[in-house]
Structure 1
Amino acid sequence: MATYMESMQKHFQNNNRVRDTQSHSAKVHSVAWSCDGRRLASGSFDKTVCVYTLERDRLSKENTFRGHGDSVDQLCWHPKHPDHLVTASGDKTIRIWDTRCSRSVASVNTKGENINICWSPDGSTIAVGNKEDLVTFIDARTHRSRTDEQFKYEVNEISWNNDGDLFFLTSGQGTINILSYPALKPLHSLTAHPANCICIEFDPVGTYFATGSADALVSLWDLSELVCVRTFSRLDWPVRTLSFSYDGQLLASASEDLVIDIAMVETGEKVTEIPCDTPTFTVAWHPKRHLLAYACDDKHDRDRDSGTVKVFGFPTDP
């Protein structure tokens, strides 16, 4: 009987086509799938948000949202409502969008230039972090700020755990700091990397979380024990972005290396890799299929960013 590893390697031999959608006029910072997997969204340096519909084996652009006055640095979808997404921008606002409308349904002023954003698993709260390491918790219903938390260290990425009772931050000191939620009392500070800890991602199953660091390593942590169970070391540059597949078995990681690494979570072995011409800033697995959305620092010519969104994993042409 073929192992999962072998069956996935075979799957990607037959499904390794990349489809590109040219949608932005500048670098794409963030891509994410809606919770039902029917839509993909991208946020760009060009201040816009694009939404695409996934038909069986192709993406088609559905809408371009305008309204932000600066770069859209990160976006995420509502964990349970497939039409709602939120964007963080350098214009000192976050915006909530409904894909059924052509404009934002809410714009919330914040205290600084926003660089990271996440939605609590129950959908009630949005957390947004800015360049001054201030994290603001916003009521997703009333759009009012509930609380601000100023940190004394560089905060890179923020996330709740899947149960929503812990809040995680990755730091410039290489630590993963864990707070209780909603009390926001510090519980643990895990020394994860000797260098800046950049990104954090939780698997959908609730077993592991992974962090990526400037030391070019990805570390995988057991969530119940808070111990590092393995590291992935195939990349040579700072790991900027991570994503677990819907079944929790595959982990994609990307950096300025000219490949995206796709590994078996349980063994660390390489399943496949996606060649890239330029650094990759964002990756996101589809919530139900083995399709990986990503965006690179592509250039049309030397001066102009191409603003392309790519999806890997479509059937290879016979």
Structure 2
Amino acid sequence: MAPVMRPKYTLTKEKFPTYFGPLKSQPYSDSSSVSRALGGHHSLRAIAWNPLGSLVATGSVDKTLRVWNPEKPNIRFSTELKGHSAPIEKIAFNPVKDAELCSISNDGVVKFWDVRTKASVNEVKGLGSARSLAWAPDGSSLLVGNSHEIFNISPTQSTIISSHQQPVETNQMAFCWGGKKVYIPSVEGKIRILSYPELDPIFHKNYTVDPGETSEFMLKGHTASCTTVEPSPTGKYLATGGADSTISLFDTKDWICHRTITRITGTVKSISFTFDGSYVVGGCDEGSGLEVTHTESGEHVHTFKTAGPCEAVAWAPTKYCLAYGDVGVLRIIGLDGDRK
């Protein structure tokens, strides 16, 4: 089932640009971080909201992990979490716990944090160059992946529960909202649909395949590597992003690609839907500007102007509020929307 949404209002695609046009983004940084960003040494790799939207965390290539209060942009109101010895690749809050954060790094360590006490409450080592992370919707377990292996781990255990070799190199994965399926994108541009926790193929082709070929049914939505996937909050669509500078939207009932979003420059590094599933945006490693698309019609509705490429994007879980990394600095737009 999709999560319970708590909308305060709904924006039609006609009103979206009018609503966001006058709003200004709020930067979250200090002067030293801005100077490092302009020098290219403080690139944000990941952004994550907690379930209530009261905190937003950032992870960077300089090993910095920080938790911000969206209402207080000054850095003295933020919390720095120290412990990783290599660049941070992905971060995510527990879907059912507002203060539990997970981070993965190139140091091969997964860390679990209590952001209230700043303490690392658990860690799992020996995962290689970890680069993908997905919480199960009930918050009881996670999947962490490196290029060819996926690990099932628990936030309360320091050892790996199980490991699963993958036939091809894989990228950032995601659970379905029911927690029974996992979407695994690959460098071949395909997306595997596996059962959880077994990680076995769920669907198979209904025709005879040639000897040596797999009968596993996979989604085909990209002409280059599929880099990331994200289910919509309504559960209706699965969005997939690729190195071919496109986002594909698959209907999760018939698994047909209903539309392809092409107003993108560079490899899609992250994808995020608004809390109601009405709009989707992708973060990319080239160009400038964030392009927002209406999910149902495929129409482009708005461009958020940026200073440079924005790899990490994340809509807030409860309202129209977008967090993104621009030139190494966290920015949030939409916080002042309620006061308009």
Shared fold per TM-score greater than 0.5: yes
In the alignment, structure 1 residue 8 sits paired with structure 2 residue 38: no
1:66 to 82, 89, 96: 82
In the alignment, structure 1 residue 128 sits paired with structure 2 residue 144: yes
Contact 1:43 1:50 in 2 (8 A): yes
In the alignment, structure 1 residue 139 sits paired with structure 2 residue 154: yes
Paired amino acid for 1:8: F
How many Å separate the matches in 1 of 2:267 and 2:108?
Answer: 27
Contact 2:122 2:157 in 1 (8 A): no
1:244 aligned residue:
273
Q: Quick one: structure 1 residues 59 and 186, their matched pair in 2 at CA, closer, same or farther if it must change by over 3 Å? A: farther
Matches for 1:48-197 after TM superposition, within 5 Å? 48-55=64-71, 61-130=77-146, 132-187=147-202, 188-197=217-226
Structure 1: gaps of 5 or more residues = 299-306
How many Å separate the matches in 1 of 2:191 and 2:26?
Answer: 35
Tell me the CA shift for residue 315 of structure 1.
Answer: 3.6
Residues 193-221 of structure 1, C-alpha deviations (whole Å, 9 max, x = no match) = 11111111111111111011111111001
How many Å separate the matches in 2 of 1:3 and 1:295?
Answer: 24
Contact 1:48 1:67 in 2 (8 A): no
Identity of aligned pairs, percent? 29
How many Å separate the matches in 2 of 1:74 and 1:210?
Answer: 18
Contact 1:29 1:282 in 2 (8 A): yes
Contact 1:17 1:314 in 2 (8 A): no
Structure 2: gaps of 5 or more residues = 1-9, 37-41, 203-216
Give runs of ≥4 in structure 1 deviating > 3 Å.
Answer: 57-61, 314-318
2:7 aligned residue:
none
2:313 aligned residue:
283
In the alignment, structure 1 residue 18 sits paired with structure 2 residue 34: no
Tell me the CA shift for residue 3 of structure 1.
Answer: 8.0
2:205 aligned residue:
none
Matched residue SS, 2:86: coil
TM-score normalised by structure 2 residue count:
0.85
Q: Quick one: structure 1 residues 21 and 36, their matched pair in 2 at CA, closer, same or farther if it must change by over 3 Å? A: same
1:36 to 52, 57, 66: 52
1:304 aligned residue:
none
Tell me the CA shift for residue 289 of structure 1.
Answer: 1.3
Contact 1:67 1:103 in 2 (8 A): no
Question: Which has more strand, going by share of residues?
Answer: 1
Q: Quick one: structure 1 residues 182 and 12, their matched pair in 2 at CA, closer, same or farther if it must change by over 3 Å? A: same
State the superposition RMSD in angstroms.
1.9
